[in-house]
A = this chain, B = another copy of it.
Amino acid sequence: MLLGEKGVGYELVRESPWLRRDEFLDMNPAGQTPVMVDAVRGILLIDSMAICEYLEETVEKAAMIHGTAANRAEIRRLVTWFDTHFFHDVTGPLLHERMVKRLAHRVAPDGKALREAMKAAVSHLDYTDYLLDHRQWLGGATLSLADLAAASQISIADYLGGIDWKGHDQTARWYQGLKSRPSFRPLLAERMELVAPPAHYDNLDF
């Protein structure tokens, strides 16, 4: 999404980190996506936040960590909030139960784990509602990396049927705005193997 906002061309390469392929571990011993290869400059970049900071430093267009040092700290706090806490509570468990278990282990999801992830999603959306009551965008007065990080996590959770939009009007309106950005289209067009999203998923007016 950040590459899209900055107008940098890219090609996505599918990687299933849970397979722990040797060639992938040679690139990133942590065994995690995302990894970005800049073949022209001969640069290998690892870790979502490190990649985003790199893009902020090297591409001037569409600054997404902006404002005063305190604003920038608030944007980074929220990126970690979504990349780490939202992922740990919501996206990670949903992916494990609804995608990895099906693709890799051919077993059914655990209903209790799914319910807990969906309950956690409600708390997280209560928090984004609260933030959006006080600010135009999650990180402050303008669009920032906090919005991109949040929308990316939420889109995966929504794809996996983990988001109940009822009662979250603030966040729903904000998410609708992000969904209609050109940078978001490629994400909405992607499909997981065997797992279909709910009908509202890529509807821009849901």
Binding site for B on A (CB under 8 A): 29-30, 41, 43, 45-47, 49-51, 53-54, 57-58, 69-70, 72-74, 76-77, 80-81, 84-85, 127
A69-B57 contact given A29-B127, A30-B85, CB 8 Å threshold: yes
Report A48 CB to chain B, min CB distance, Å: 9
Does B46 contact A77, Cβ atoms closer than 8 Å?
yes
Candidate in A30, A47, A81 with the most chain B CB atoms within 10 angstroms = A47
In the complex, the answer to whether B50 meets A73 with C-beta atoms within 8 Å is yes
- This chain's copy number in the assembly: 2
The answer to whether A73 and B85 touch across the interface, beta carbons within 8 angstroms, is: no
Closest-by-CB residue of B relative to A127 is: B29
A54 to B72, CA, bound (A): 8
Is A47 a contact partner of B70 (Cβ separation < 8 A)?
Answer: no
Mind listing 12 A-B residue pairs with CB under 8 Å?
A30-B85, A41-B70, A45-B70, A46-B77, A47-B76, A47-B80, A49-B49, A50-B74, A50-B77, A50-B80, A57-B69, A57-B72
> Closest residue of chain B to A46, judged by CB?
B77
**Interchain CB contact under 8 A, B47 and A72:** no
Alpha-carbon separation in the docked complex, A72 to B73 (Å): 17
Contacts A47-B77, A49-B76: A54 and B30 contacting too (C-beta < 8 A)? no
A-B pairs, 10 with minimum CB distance: A50-B76, A54-B73, A57-B69, A46-B77, A50-B73, A50-B77, A47-B77, A47-B80, A58-B69, A43-B70
Residue in B closest to A84 when the chains form the complex, CB atoms: B84
Smallest beta-carbon distance A17→chain B, Å: 13
Most chain B beta-carbon contacts within 10 A, residue among A57, A58, A70, A84? A70
Q: Is the CB of B72 within 8 A of A53?
A: yes
**Nearest-CB distance from A165 to chain B (Å)?**
22
- In the complex, what distance in Å separates the CA atom of A27 from the CA atom of B46? 31
